[in-house]
């Protein structure tokens, strides 16, 4: 059997350098566990940035994938298929949406919604041509396409990639008054993550989303929640908007929509916005294909049927309490909702990456985000003994002077 070094060298020789992964070469996964090519077992505390909420290689989703792959994979939207309609119906029933537009990656869903709200702005709201504005938040992460990185505030995401598309206004996250001030007659939408994931699990003040909802309604501005990471059980609710009892006009989902088997994303609309698109104006060869729809249907079904959302809430509280109980001068704050947890280190702790390295040596895979924060977001099927096992290994990493 080839060892890790062999595979790492191949990546170094032939790949682009747009990632700097930990040097662990994974070969197999099951539930919350993954194994590397040397056979070491790890607890996956990233879950592919929340794409694997249902756990690795979930048997029911796997069966659907195989069955559907043996039946029909791709038709393009030039023809209809018998998985698309049922997928629409089920995702609408679950999320109380009225209309769906399926895509593949999360970034594509974001691009789709920006195109749609701009067109809605011109056709319905009556904004003069090419003047539509979308408001976004500092610290946002919505993907990697040109339009999206153009309104990022992360220098690494932007530098060297301009010129960028106009029409975006950036306001601070968690500040509803700033939203009200930023709205102009040309504002079509406010695009925001209910909890900022990539920024380091930043939870806005309580009541923020309710205020945002009120302001958007008052000004006829479309509220778009990017729930690509927070959605589908991650925060202990199906959608994070439920924590504040609000409903977005448009919700974006992706990642766990396929349980990690396949790229599937969707724009879910409770408003008239998607109605402005007409044949030929938008699309994707793979969007809405039968394999994607079948996989997504089962991924949603197991999430609900197997109680993963409730488990996320319970296990999240337990994990959060366990991490908060760690007494360490290195830790600045532990915050989270459900199984979306961030542990922020003191600036003098020397950065999160070496802690992730040390956790890896102890059998736990985590990812640092924005220098000083470690994210703990295991698959939602994790159980109490697994978390106790993890805490026993996490504690020594922070207990002393660090790794
Ligand atoms: C991951 C993510 C995206 C982008 O999804 P991709 O599938 O990587 O394009 C967009 N928004 C949020 C909040 C995300 O976490």
Query: Looking at residue 399, what is its pLDDT?
Result: 81
* pLDDT-above-70 percentage for the chain: 99
């929340």: which residue's tokens? Answer: 50
The token duo for 195 is 């909890």
Instruction: For 223-234, give the secondary structure using H, E and C.
Output: EEEECCCCCCCC
**Catalytic hit among 249, 255, 368, 398:** 255
Q: Kindly tell me if the per-residue pLDDT of 403 is higher than 90.
A: no
The average pLDDT across 218-227 equals: 98
Ligand 1 pocket test, pick from 48, 106, 199, 257 with the greatest ligand atom count within 8 Å of Cβ, gives 106
Query: Domains plus CATH for the chain?
Result: 4-57+307-400 (3.90.1150.10), 59-305 (3.40.640.10)
Is ligand 1 within 6 A of the CB of residue 112?
no
Q: Kindly tell me if the per-residue pLDDT of 342 is higher than 70.
A: yes
Nearest to 234 by CA among 192, 203, 190, 267: 203
Q: Kindly tell me if the per-residue pLDDT of 59 is higher than 80.
A: yes
Catalytic residue list contains 125: no
Q: Kindly tell me if the per-residue pLDDT of 370 is higher than 90.
A: no
The average pLDDT across 363-383 equals: 96
Catalytic residue list contains 141: yes
pLDDT per residue over 193-209, tens digit each? 999 999 999 999 999 99
Is ligand 1 within 6 A of the CB of residue 254?
yes
Band the pLDDT of 401: cuts 50, 70, 90: low
Query: Looking at residue 270, what is its pLDDT?
Result: 85
Q: Kindly tell me if the per-residue pLDDT of 224 is higher than 90.
A: yes
Give the ligand 1 atom nearest the CA of 110. Answer: 10
Query: Looking at residue 271, what is its pLDDT?
Result: 76
pLDDT per residue over 259-300, tens digit each? 999 999 999 998 789 999 999 999 999 999 999 999 999 999
Band the pLDDT of 400: cuts 50, 70, 90: low
Q: Kindly tell me if the per-residue pLDDT of 377 is higher than 70.
A: yes
The average pLDDT across 357-385 equals: 96
pLDDT per residue over 230-249, tens digit each? 999 999 999 999 999 999 99
Ligand 1 centre distance from Cα of residue 142 (Å): 5
* pLDDT-above-90 percentage for the chain: 97
Ligand 1 centre distance from Cα of residue 396 (Å): 33
Nearest to 272 by CA among 113, 85, 98, 89: 98
Band the pLDDT of 402: cuts 50, 70, 90: low
Residue 377, burial from CB neighbour count under 10 angstroms (0-12, 13-18, 19+): buried
Query: Looking at residue 383, what is its pLDDT?
Result: 98
Is ligand 1 within 6 A of the CB of residue 105?
yes
CB 44 within 8 A of CB 379: yes
89: Cβ–Cβ under 8 A, 6 or more apart, which residues?
none
CB 324 within 8 A of CB 98: no
Catalytic residue list contains 255: yes
Length of the chain as a residue count: 403
């Amino acid at each position: 059997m080839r060892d890790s070094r062999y595979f790492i060298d191949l990546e170094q020789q032939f790949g682009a350098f747009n990632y700097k992964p930990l040097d662990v070469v994974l070969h197999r996964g099951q539930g919350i566990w993954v194994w590397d090519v040397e056979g070491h077992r790890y607890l996956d505390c990233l879950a592919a940035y929340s794409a694997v909420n249902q756990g690795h290689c979930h048997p029911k989703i796997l069966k659907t994938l195989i069955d559907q792959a043996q039946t029909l994979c791709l038709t393009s939207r030039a023809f209809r298929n018998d998985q698309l309609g049922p997928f629409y119906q089920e995702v609408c029933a679950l999320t109380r949406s009225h209309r769906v537009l399926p895509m593949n990656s999360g970034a594509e869903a974001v691009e789709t919604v920006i195109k749609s709200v701009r067109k809605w702005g011109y056709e319905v709201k009556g904004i003069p041509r090419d003047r539509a504005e979308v408001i976004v938040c500092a610290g946002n992460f919505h993907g990697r396409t040109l339009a999206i990185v153009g309104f990022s505030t992360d220098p690494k995401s932007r530098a060297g990639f301009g010129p960028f598309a106009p029409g975006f206004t950036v306001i601070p996250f968690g500040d509803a008054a700033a939203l009200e001030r930023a709205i102009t007659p040309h504002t079509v939408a406010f695009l925001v993550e209910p909890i900022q994931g990539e920024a380091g699990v930043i939870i806005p003040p309580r009541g923020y989303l309710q205020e945002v909802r009120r302001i958007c309604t008052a000004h006829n501005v479309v509220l778009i929640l990017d729930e690509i990471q927070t959605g589908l059980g991650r925060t202990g609710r199906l959608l994070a908007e439920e924590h504040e009892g609000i409903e977005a006009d448009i919700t974006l989902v992706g990642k766990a929509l396929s349980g990690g088997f396949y790229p599937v994303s969707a724009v879910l609309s409770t408003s008239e916005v998607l109605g402005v698109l007409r044949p030929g104006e938008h699309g994707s060869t793979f969007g809405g294909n039968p394999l994607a729809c079948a996989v997504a249907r089962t991924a949603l079904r197991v999430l609900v049927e197997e109680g993963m959302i409730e488990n996320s809430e319970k296990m999240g509280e337990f994990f959060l309490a366990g991490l908060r109980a760690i007494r360490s001068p290195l830790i600045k704050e532990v915050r989270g909702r459900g199984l979306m947890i961030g542990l922020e280190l003191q600036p003098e702790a020397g950065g999160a990456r070496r802690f992730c390295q040390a956790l890896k040596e102890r059998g736990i895979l985590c990812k640092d985000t924005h220098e000083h924060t470690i994210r703990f977001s295991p698959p939602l099927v994790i159980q109490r003994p697994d978390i106790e096992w993890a805490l026993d290994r996490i504690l020594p990493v922070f207990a002393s002077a660090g790794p």
